[in-house]
Amino acid sequence: MARQPTATKTVSAGSSVLPRHLSPPLCLMAIASLSPRELAHDVLLRGGDRRQIPTRLLDEQLAQCQLTPGQRGQATDLVHGVVRRQPTLDLILRQFLRRPLPQVEAGALVWLRLAAWELLFSATPSYAVLNETAEAVKRQGQPQWTGFLNGVLRSLTRDLTDQQVFQPAANALPLDSGNYRVLQSSPFPDPQTDPQGYFRDAFSFPEWLVARWAGRVESPRLLRLGFWFNTPPRPTLRVNPLITTRDALLERLQQQGIAAEPGQHPHAIRLGQSARITALPGFDEGWFAVQDESAMEAATRLAPQPGERILDLCAAPGGKTLHLAALMQNQGQIIAADSDERRLKQVADSARRLHTSIITCETIPADTSRLPAGPFDAVLLDVPCSNTGVLGKRPEVRWRLTPRDLVELPQIQSRLLNAALRVVRPGGRLLYSTCSIEPEENGKLIQAALKRHRQLRLVEERLHWPGEPVDGGYQALLHVAPVRT
């Protein structure tokens, strides 16, 4: 279970008061009639409340809308794009505003960000962006905004060029394709004299996080990391070998005109673009689950065997649990334990869909004062973490994470590791896993555990650096020494 941190900060500007036509909650009929731009505007405006997470609001509203796959993709790109790049958008927009950004009405500011994102990063023609924005604003009942929005956005279009370069510069905007778009203005720090400042402003990351990464990697690798996290992720499917093969699923997807290719992991299929997963062929039959390739390595590295008794601690929502069952050929016993009863239900539902019968779900207290009865041949411990290895898939995390989280999370992770070791049999093994790239949650924590627990031996560890070639994460396989007689 890799949770999103409970950090307290979000990036917002302008008033938090919602216009009357957007006062919550929207009725289902109103949501269903929204265009992709209007839906994105509604989500981002509500997401300005730090208690809300825009990507979750988007998922909730998409479930209520009758949109085509293309429209759903457009709404998703708009929301995720603005959440990822909001500081960069604001930095560029400030050049064309006659008043401070916080003095712009909240609803108008969201429209500026949406249109600016399309103008800067999408292939939509500029005239279409301006026309559609003006029409959407009128439909919202805010015609008084159209002149202001049109003036700012026309100024922005005059700042754009069609020229692309391959090196950072003060006037070079990083795209999501590895290239840079040349602007007439120079809104960013000079990357030669202030490389961290350029990365912070041009790629949109908090300064403290940039400083951490820049202290560990050279500038070219840091730039590649920024491109990876700002490029919309391609969904990855993990084939269910209990039902089918990768070749069979690839053939079925291609028959339906869905672009797909084999991944690096032997069970992985990479889709060519985002898709509504539940509508893909084979979903209802349990042919696949959705899982990152780096996450697939966790169960593979633990190497569960048919007939073993396995504990998956912090199991929800169950991706690794189900992979364990497949590797065990649905023979043996898996206890999926988690403190979140609601999310454990997702594990049970997915187990039924994937035709897995060896998984038993068990709710445990969050303080791990009670664990499922051991001993277990092996434990998979996928701890709550900062998610810094998967920021591309979780765009809001970069703004919600704080330095304090990287103090508090390792304490939770150490407690969970100590608890898990209590139920591993002598001679058994434990796989510690995160989707973080921070040393405090990974190698440093494991080295501290090895000093505390002399019966432990580190068999192997692996840090997946984001984009090389998949999402980031860490796994450490630990062996518990047998009792000497």
* pLDDT, position 274: 78
| SS3 call for 277 | helix
Q: What would the two tokens of residue 311 be?
A: 């504990």
Within a domain: residue 183? Answer: yes
187 shares its domain with 320: no
| Range in 7-16, 105-114, 328-337, 446-455 the model is least confident about | 7-16
Task: Name, in order, each residue with C-beta under 8 angstroms of 157's C-beta and a sequence gap of 6 or more.
Answer: 119, 126, 130
Tokens (6 digits) for 425:
């049999």
- Taking CA atoms, 52 is separated from 56, 57, 87, 180, 396, in Å, by 8, 8, 19, 32, 10
Are both 379 and 471 inside the same structural domain? yes
d(CA 88, CA 201): 6
Of 254, 275, 290, which closes a domain? 290
Domain that holds residue 274: 236-290
pLDDT range class, residue 68, cuts 50, 70, 90: confident
Residue 485 lies in a domain: no
Mapping DSSP to helix (H, G, I), strand (E, B) and coil, where does residue 269 land?
A: strand
Q: Report yes or no on 175 lying in a domain.
A: yes
Kindly state whether residues 217 and 358 are assigned to the same domain: no
Whole-angstrom distance, CA of residue 337 vs CA of residue 315 = 6
Q: Average pLDDT, stretch 346-369?
A: 96
Average pLDDT taken over every residue of the chain? 92
- What pLDDT does 66 receive? 80
Is there a domain that residue 219 lies in? yes
Which tokens sit at 103?
């003095």
The pLDDT value given to residue 165: 96
Using the predicted structure, report yes or no on whether residue 482 has a pLDDT greater than 80: yes
Of the three residues 109, 130, 159, the one that is the final residue of a domain is: 159
Please tell me the least confidently modeled range out of 2-11, 324-333, 347-356, 401-410: 2-11
- pTM of the predicted model as reported, rounded to 2 decimal places: 0.90
Q: Residues 400, 436: one domain?
A: yes
Known catalytic membership, residue 435: yes
The answer to whether residues 275 and 299 belong to one domain is: no
Q: Same structural domain for residues 475 and 403? A: yes
Active-site choice (314, 361, 385, 435): 435
Looking at the structure, do residues 218 and 132 belong to the same domain, yes or no? Answer: no
**What is the count of structural domains for the chain?**
4
Question: In this structure, what token pair is assigned to residue 173?
Answer: 């905007």
Angle between helices 405-421 and 443-452 (to 10 degrees): 40
Does residue 263 sit in the same domain as residue 317? no
Residues 149 and 184 grouped into a single domain: no
pLDDT tens profile 191-243: 999 999 999 999 999 999 999 999 999 999 999 999 999 998 889 999 999 99
CB atoms within 10 A of CB 333: 16
Tell me, yes or no, whether 191 and 279 share the same domain. no
Distinct helix (H) and strand (E) counts, the chain: 17, 14
Q: What is the CATH number of the domain that holds 336?
A: 3.40.50.150
Contact between 204 and 230 under an 8 Å Cβ cutoff? The reply is yes
Q: How many Å apart are CA 258 and CA 281, to the nearest integer? A: 10
